[in-house]
Amino acid sequence: MTDLPRGHPFRDSGEDVVVARRTPDTPQTRNPAYRLAFADPDFLTRRETRPVRLQLELLKPELELDDHGIVSTVVMFGGARIPAPDRAEHARTETLKGLAPVYEEARRFARLVTERSVAGGGRENVIVTGGGPGVMEAGNLGAHEAGGRSIGLNIVLPHEQAPNPYVTPDLSFNFHYFAIRKMHFLMRASAVAVFPGGFGTLDELFESLTLIQTGRMAPVPFVLFGEAFWRRIVNWEALSDAGTIGPRDLELFRFVETADEALAVIDGWTPVVPEPRQTP
């Protein structure tokens, strides 16, 4: 009988996966029905096993981040199409070319945040991005330049996508479910920084604000880079004037222009109690 580790009365499932690969080749062992359930990709990707996949996608990054000692994060949302200054000439629109300085400010913000994080042991305020290009790349690059770790939460998309090269390999994750990915963005968030972007950035911005507004998430420092961009995209005061949000809800975030200004806002942040929700 195989000796089992002290304190572990049952065989390790990983060992049985290895053993299963060495079973004799017969019609029975070749049939998919014989596969171990947890090692059967056809079974795990069935429609009926979606709840299991949701749980696994929530659990895997959580355990990995715990194993790497990540206590808190600074979240960076922003557009994948924002070009680095040296690539701005290839941008698809003049507006995108004009947003190239945003890349550098995101890079500098991440570098400054990470320098502080490293000085404090590297477990708090670790930069997390969506792991892709544009602002996400700038965030991971800035953290890399500061000599610290950073997290990338990629998502499988119809077109080819790979993590940008500056994500810490041990902290590079890939998701199928947008909802679970967004949970991981905020589960450890100590601050949120939002840079100009498109549908994805707007989705992340408003979902995060909604969680804070409704009390489902504790208020954290929340900064929007580029006031002119955000005021052109969203008529914030119109929402308040219409009564669809409360005046105090506009205090849940601050507009900033530079990395230094953002850090000053974060350092001096006073939590705002969200507006009480009233219904007729």
**What digits encode the pLDDT tens for the residues 192-247?**
999 999 999 999 999 999 999 999 999 999 999 999 999 999 999 999 999 999 99
Position 1 scores a pLDDT of: 40
DSSP 8-state assignment for residue 38: G
CA 172 to chain centre: 10
What structural domains does the chain harbor? 69-267 (3.40.50.450)
- Cα distance between residue 195 and residue 120, in whole Å: 26
127 with 150: CB under 8 angstroms? yes
Question: Model's pTM, two decimal places?
Answer: 0.90
252 with 272: CB under 8 angstroms? yes
- Cα distance between residue 165 and residue 2, in whole Å: 43
DSSP 8-state assignment for residue 280: -
pLDDT in tens, 59-86: 999 999 999 999 999 999 999 999 999 9
246 with 177: CB under 8 angstroms? no
Position 4 scores a pLDDT of: 53
CA 71 to chain centre: 15
Residue with tokens 């929402």: 239
- Cα distance between residue 164 and residue 137, in whole Å: 6
264 with 239: CB under 8 angstroms? no
Which tokens sit at 112? 């400054």
Mention every residue, 6+ apart, whose C-beta is less than 8 A from residue 38: 13, 44
- Residues 244-262 have a mean pLDDT of 96
Residue type, 133: P
Going through the chain in order, the beta strands assigned E by DSSP cover: 73-77, 126-129, 150-155, 172-175, 189-194, 222-225, 254-256
Burial class (CB in 10 A: 0-12, 13-18, 19+), 106: buried
Burial class (CB in 10 A: 0-12, 13-18, 19+), 160: exposed
Which of the residue ranges 45-59, 118-132, 156-170, 242-256 would you say has the lowest mean pLDDT? 156-170
Sign (positive or negative) of CA dihedral 107, 113, 116, 119:
negative
Burial class (CB in 10 A: 0-12, 13-18, 19+), 51: exposed
Which tokens sit at 104? 């550098």
With left for phi above 0 and alpha for psi between -120 and 50, is residue 147 left, alpha or beta?
left
Beta bridge partners of 126: 73
pLDDT in tens, 35-50: 889 989 999 999 999 9
139 with 76: CB under 8 angstroms? yes
